[in-house]
Structure 1
Amino acid sequence: MKFNAAGLLLCTFLIGCGGTAPFGEDATEDPTEEGGGTDGGIDSEGLPPGTASPSPNNGIFRSEPRSEEDGANGNGYATGISYDGATDTFTVDGLAFDGGNVYQRGNPVSSLNDGAFSVYEADQQFPDSVTNTPVNQLTHRAIYGVSRNIDANGQPETQFAIVRTGAYVGYGFGGFVYQRANDVNMPSSGQAVFNGRSAGLRDFNGRGGLEYTTANVEVAIDFDDFNDDTGGRGDGVRGEFTNRRVFDIDGNDITAAVLARINNQNDASLSSLPDARFRIGPGVLDGNGEAIGTIASNYTNDEGTTQIYEDGNYYAILSGEDPDEIVGVIVIENSAEFDSTVVRETSGFIVHRTP
């Protein structure tokens, strides 16, 4: 299967096709609003960079934290991310050799997961500012996800963006951002289930290259339990990424090749990629609607032994009165496909409570 340019332009989601404000611009709290605090749940020191004093009454913005880990020290360098609906272009600052910081709609891959998410790419060449000689650029791709719900100001209720490069032996430089534009009403009882899709990028620590990923996503929340020992929130959060597919940079479905890599390296006979699931436990959701936890997947090899395939983290924000949608990002790694190479998937997701 190949993706083509038939994906729906994001400007059709935006009032007047005028574009959205830069990530983080509309997600700061109003100093006149009262209330806030985490109300138990996740430790605020574990939150990614972004909104300094989050509150359920306002929007929240988060970005990928920087890292000192070997191979991952390019995390969080992508800044100034914004989308222009009038020109269907994406602006990214902070990354070297990505053209003039303006990313065009991708070709041949312009969208992922049946057009639900849009793909943008940096220029392949950029002119010398004196001689006009073409300078070859590094491979960069950006994925943009936007809520189907638009507020009174013409802004999406939630959105995310991911930028990665396949031009380094390590992971290279990139980043992700995610945000909600407005408030959230956090229930004190009951349960909720949200469904949607994801799209992401796979890069490698140990070799170059980029791959795309897609999945179906379901997130369920128990607002009654767990009971939090601190007197705050202890809500249980369950998430599943299923029907996972992998595509090469030209949009060809290479899921079978990925499965062959896993099977050959690990004496396994998998016929589909393992589902990735949130680890369920207390202390992952706070009163501002932010959730942070761990995510993993596993498989059974030919000897009947269960093995961990991937391990990582999820980051999410709830939005709306019910609440009625969630935006988030997962970062999950595996060392099961290659010798001396770690594979990292960074996928964004938006899920809604109603179909």
Structure 2
Amino acid sequence: MSINTAVKAFGILSITAMVACGGSGSNPVTGGDSDDDVVTDPGTDPNASLTNAAFLFDPSKNLVANRFDFTPGATPGTGTITINNLPFDGVSSEGGAYTPRPGVVLPNGEVYQNTPNSSAEDQYYAVVLTSPTTGTGALVGAVATNAYRGSGYGGAYASRPEGAKLPPTQAATYQYTGTYNGIRVLRQQEDIGATNAIQLTTGKAEINIDLQDFDLTGAIRGQIIDRRLFDLDGNEISVAGRGLGRIGLVITNLNPDTLMTESDSTNPGTTNTRNLDNSFAQTGTWNGMVSGPNGEEVAGFLVVEGQLSDFDPNYDSDTTRDPVTGRETGGFITSRP
């Protein structure tokens, strides 16, 4: 089996030129200016103190990216992005940014990449979506690299402006639909010298909210469907007529006060993909938040990891070889009618 090859770089997908967190022009997750000091163990999950942003936090898996800033360009596809807390990415408060990858446009936006200044710096990829709805300002993103033997450093992120609310007259349930962008690192072995592959994914996101139950909180669930797979040059490598399998966003709590997912040990926000026989393949977690003064959007991020589903074009059925494993991180923004 041959994994679709990819070169090292760093990318981001965008749809519109908007930023989150109160329209300040940035999306702060931690205080102070961005720098390259990698915070891998702050003692407790720093998400606990955040009210309008969240990021995928698991230092044991090198998921440490904690802030995305998008600066719009004069025309679509010319903006720049900075991401905080990634080692050796060449971007800090001293300068550096990620710019569009020339000539590559995917269904949900452009691809961006950084420019390492020396062999001491690594190249990363990422995907980003910004809100298509005026006035809501949601931003989501995910980042990864194939510069390491394992999945390497990366992460996922979501933010919104202050003042997220639902309409004064609330329906029992809300339905949201929108777009998803993801990035994944594939590997079949972790021997020294082995090259991991980077691939990009797109899809449609569906989110449902029930405000009446659970009794003490609302409930939220969803799925990512119509997933398609691309290489870094924008070539589709999905199986014709089939694409990739769905990612399930398993039901979890929605805090009625913060309008953010409220996962705990008894009811975590988990994700999964399935094999052709409907057994579980990859698993992970997800987070979401309502955005907009009238709850116009739900934005969030996810991770799935483990052995690929046999639905996947990169699946290797030869049991004499190591299985193909991978980690996909991604973000979604959905809107209600």
The TM-score, its normalising length taken from structure 1, stands at 0.69
Deviation at 1:274, TM superposition (A): 2.0
Which residue of the partner structure matches residue 241 of structure 1? 224
Which residue of the partner structure matches residue 85 of structure 2? 94
RMSD: 3.1
Asked if 1:220 is matched to 2:204, the reply is no
Asked if 1:253 is matched to 2:236, the reply is yes
Deviation at 1:106, TM superposition (A): 1.5
Which residue of the partner structure matches residue 300 of structure 1? 276
Which structure has the larger Rg?
1
Q: In structure 2, what residue type is equivalent to 1:331?
A: V
Indicate conservation of the 8 Å contact 1:48/1:62, yes or no.
Answer: no
Which residue of the partner structure matches residue 322 of structure 1? 294
Which residue of the partner structure matches residue 175 of structure 2? 193
State the Cα deviation string for residues 218-243 of structure 1 (Å, max 9, x = none): 1111111232xxxx21x232302111
- Structure 1 unmatched runs, 5+: 1-6, 28-46, 55-59, 128-134, 258-269
- Report the more deviating stretch, 193-202 or 330-339: 330-339
SS at 1:310 equivalent:
strand
Which residue of the partner structure matches residue 38 of structure 1? none
SS at 1:300 equivalent:
coil
Deviation at 1:80, TM superposition (A): 5.1
Q: In structure 2, what residue type is equivalent to 1:197?
A: T
- Report the more deviating stretch, 165-174 or 99-108: 99-108
Q: In structure 2, what residue type is equivalent to 1:179?
A: S
CA distance in 1, matches of 2:15, 2:202: 19
Which residue of the partner structure matches residue 152 of structure 2? 172
Q: In structure 2, what residue type is equivalent to 1:75?
A: L
Q: In structure 2, what residue type is equivalent to 1:298?
A: R
The TM-score, its normalising length taken from structure 2, stands at 0.72
Q: In structure 2, what residue type is equivalent to 1:145?
A: L
Indicate conservation of the 8 Å contact 1:219/1:240, yes or no.
Answer: yes
Asked if 1:290 is matched to 2:278, the reply is no
Indicate conservation of the 8 Å contact 1:203/1:210, yes or no.
Answer: yes
CA distance in 1, matches of 2:24, 2:50: 23
CA distance in 1, matches of 2:229, 2:301: 17
State the Cα deviation string for residues 28-59 of structure 1 (Å, max 9, x = none): xxxxxxxxxxxxxxxxxxx96346163xxxxx
Deviation at 1:322, TM superposition (A): 3.4
Deviation at 1:215, TM superposition (A): 0.6
Indicate conservation of the 8 Å contact 2:307/2:324, yes or no.
Answer: yes
CA distance in 2, matches of 1:179, 1:340: 35
CA distance in 1, matches of 2:289, 2:14: 25
1:1-355 mapped onto 2 (5 Å cutoff) = 10-11=16-17, 13=18, 21-24=25-28, 49-50=46-47, 52=49, 54=51, 60-68=52-60, 72=61, 74-76=62-64, 78-79=65-66, 81-86=68-73, 88-100=79-91, 101-109=96-104, 111-115=105-109, 118-123=110-115, 125-126=116-117, 135=119, 137-151=121-135, 157-186=137-166, 190-204=172-186, 206=190, 208-227=196-215, 232-233=216-217, 235-256=218-239, 271-280=242-251, 283-291=253-261, 292=263, 293-301=269-277, 306-336=278-308, 337-338=315-316, 339-354=322-337
Deviation at 1:26, TM superposition (A): 11
Deviation at 1:324, TM superposition (A): 1.3
> Judging changes above 3 Å, is the alpha-carbon distance between structure 1 residues 224 and 49 closer, same or farther for their aligned structure 2 residues?
same
CA distance in 2, matches of 1:9, 1:322: 22
Deviation at 1:276, TM superposition (A): 1.7
SS at 1:221 equivalent:
strand
Q: In structure 1, what residue type is equivalent to 2:26?
A: P
User: If each structure's helix is expressed as a fraction of its own residues, which one has the higher value?
Assistant: 1
> Judging changes above 3 Å, is the alpha-carbon distance between structure 1 residues 212 and 287 closer, same or farther for their aligned structure 2 residues?
same
SS at 2:239 equivalent:
helix
Q: In structure 1, what residue type is equivalent to 2:57?
A: P
CA distance in 2, matches of 1:81, 1:279: 26
Deviation at 1:9, TM superposition (A): 7.3
CA distance in 1, matches of 2:103, 2:125: 12
CA distance in 1, matches of 2:176, 2:275: 25
SS at 2:178 equivalent:
strand
CA distance in 2, matches of 1:53, 1:143: 22
Task: Report how many residues are paired.
Answer: 278
Indicate conservation of the 8 Å contact 2:131/2:138, yes or no.
Answer: yes
Indicate conservation of the 8 Å contact 2:270/2:285, yes or no.
Answer: yes
Deviation at 1:272, TM superposition (A): 4.2
CA distance in 1, matches of 2:126, 2:97: 11
SS at 2:279 equivalent:
strand
